[in-house]
Structure 1
Amino acid sequence: MAEDNHNEEEKLDKDSLSRRKFLRNSGFAVGGLAVGGVLGSVIPWGNEEKEQQQAANETKNFNQALMNFNQVEFQVVEAATERIFPEDDLGPGAKSLGVAFYIDHQLAGSYGFNARDYMNPPFFHGEKTQGYQGRLKRREIFRIGIREMQNYSHEKFEKGFTDLTAEEQDTVLTDFAEDNVNLTTISASGFFNLLRSMTLEGVYSDPLYGGNRNMEGWKMRDYPGDQMNYTKVIESEEFQQIEPRSLRDHM
Structure 2
Amino acid sequence: MAETPNNSENMSRRKFLRNSGYVAGGLIGGGIIGGLLGANLNDDDNDKTAKTDTNAAHSSNQAPIYFTNPEQFAVLKAAVERIYPKDDNGPGAVDLGVPFFIDHQLAGSYGNNTREYMQGPFFPGSDFQGYQTPLLRHEAFDVGLAGLQSYSQQKYKKNFAELEGEQQDEVLKAFEEKKVKLKAVTSSTFFNLLRAATLEGVYADPVYAGNTNMDGWKMKGFPGHQMSYLDKIDSKEFQKIKPNSLHA
TM-score scaled by length of structure 2: 0.76
Q: How does 1:65-76 map to 2 (within 5 A)?
A: 65-69=63-67, 70-76=69-75
**Which residue does 1:90 correspond to in 2?**
89
How far apart are the structure 1 equivalents of 2:183 and 2:238?
Answer: 52
**Which residue does 1:151 correspond to in 2?**
150
Q: How does 1:106-145 map to 2 (within 5 A)?
A: 106-145=105-144
How far apart are the structure 1 equivalents of 2:103 and 2:57?
Answer: 21
Structure 1's 207 and 58: CA in aligned 2 closer, same or farther, altered over 3 A? closer
3-state SS of 1:156 partner: helix
Amino acid at match of 2:162: D
How far apart are the structure 2 equivalents of 1:115 and 1:213?
Answer: 27
3-state SS of 2:59 partner: coil
**Which residue does 1:203 correspond to in 2?**
202
User: Once the 2 structures are TM-superposed, how far is the Cα of residue 184 of structure 1 from its aligned partner?
Assistant: 3.5
Amino acid at match of 1:63: N
How far apart are the structure 2 equivalents of 1:200 and 1:60?
Answer: 19
**Which residue does 1:161 correspond to in 2?**
160
**Which residue does 2:225 correspond to in 1?**
226
**Which residue does 2:25 correspond to in 1?**
none
3-state SS of 2:95 partner: helix
When the two structures are aligned, how many residues end up with a matched partner? Answer: 195
**Which residue does 2:99 correspond to in 1?**
100
User: Once the 2 structures are TM-superposed, how far is the Cα of residue 125 of structure 1 from its aligned partner?
Assistant: 1.2
User: Once the 2 structures are TM-superposed, how far is the Cα of residue 188 of structure 1 from its aligned partner?
Assistant: 0.3
User: Once the 2 structures are TM-superposed, how far is the Cα of residue 71 of structure 1 from its aligned partner?
Assistant: 1.4
Hey, which of these two has a bigger chunk of helix by percent?
Answer: 1
How many percent of aligned residue pairs carry the same amino acid? Answer: 54
How far apart are the structure 1 equivalents of 2:138 and 2:109?
Answer: 10
How far apart are the structure 2 equivalents of 1:94 and 1:58?
Answer: 20
3-state SS of 1:68 partner: coil
Deviates more, 1:128-137 or 1:240-249: 128-137
Runs of 5+ consecutive residues of structure 1 not aligned to the other structure: 1-53
**Which residue does 1:21 correspond to in 2?**
none
Structure 1 runs (4+) deviating above 4 angstroms are: 57-60
Structure 1's 60 and 210: CA in aligned 2 closer, same or farther, altered over 3 A? closer
User: Once the 2 structures are TM-superposed, how far is the Cα of residue 60 of structure 1 from its aligned partner?
Assistant: 7.6
**Which residue does 2:245 correspond to in 1?**
246
Amino acid at match of 1:151: S
Amino acid at match of 1:196: R
Structure 1's 59 and 120: CA in aligned 2 closer, same or farther, altered over 3 A? closer
**Which residue does 2:59 correspond to in 1?**
61
User: Once the 2 structures are TM-superposed, how far is the Cα of residue 235 of structure 1 from its aligned partner?
Assistant: 0.6
1:139-176 CA-partner distances (Å, limit 9, x unpaired): 00000111111000000000000110101100100000
How far apart are the structure 2 equivalents of 1:142 and 1:121?
Answer: 20
**Which residue does 1:189 correspond to in 2?**
188
Amino acid at match of 2:131: Y
TM-score scaled by length of structure 1: 0.75
3-state SS of 1:94 partner: coil
How far apart are the structure 2 equivalents of 1:160 and 1:171?
Answer: 14
Q: Is the 8 A contact 2:58 2:209 kept in 1?
A: no
| Larger Rg computed on CA atoms | 1
User: Once the 2 structures are TM-superposed, how far is the Cα of residue 201 of structure 1 from its aligned partner?
Assistant: 0.1
3-state SS of 2:167 partner: helix
How far apart are the structure 1 equivalents of 2:122 and 2:57?
Answer: 48
| 1:79 is the counterpart of 2:78 | yes
Q: Which protein has greater RCO, CA pairs closer than 8 Å, 6+ apart? A: 2
User: Once the 2 structures are TM-superposed, how far is the Cα of residue 58 of structure 1 from its aligned partner?
Assistant: 5.0
How far apart are the structure 2 equivalents of 1:135 and 1:245?
Answer: 39
Runs of 5+ consecutive residues of structure 2 not aligned to the other structure: 1-51
